């Protein structure tokens, strides 16, 4: 019998914006499924970094140019 804790799965929805230069602003939304193994603590900074990286990749910008306006855990 295993005594390890089960993996935890968290689902998120985020609203973000990207400032490109001085004139163009991009708004978008992203979803993320984040899993933690066993007894690992949930790290909010990791969740935020993953959402910013996902949005940056989507728009071809750096993660530092993505500002998350809101984030909600869905489960």
What CATH number did the domain enclosing 42 receive? 3.10.20.10
Within a domain: 3: no
Q: Which domain holds residue 69?
A: 8-73
Q: What is the pLDDT of residues 20-44, one digit of tens each?
A: 777 678 999 999 999 888 788 889 9
What is the Cα–Cα distance from 38 to 31, expressed in whole angstroms?
23
Within a domain: 2: no
N- to C-terminal Cα distance for the chain?
Answer: 28
Q: What is the pLDDT of residues 42-74, one digit of tens each?
A: 899 999 999 999 999 999 999 999 999 999 999
Within a domain: 53: yes
- The pLDDT of residue 42 is 87
Cβ(16)–Cβ(55) under 8 Å? yes
What is the Cα–Cα distance from 6 to 2, expressed in whole angstroms?
10
- The pLDDT of residue 25 is 81
What is the Cα–Cα distance from 28 to 4, expressed in whole angstroms?
38
């Amino acid at each position: 019998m295993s005594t390890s804790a089960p993996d935890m799965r968290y689902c998120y929805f985020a609203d973000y914006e990207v400032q490109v230069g001085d004139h163009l602003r991009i708004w978008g939304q992203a979803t993320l499924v984040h899993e933690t193994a066993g007894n690992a603590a949930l790290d909010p900074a990791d969740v935020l970094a993953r959402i910013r990286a996902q949005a940056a990749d989507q728009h071809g910008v750096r993660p530092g140019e993505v500002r998350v306006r809101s984030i909600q855990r869905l489960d």
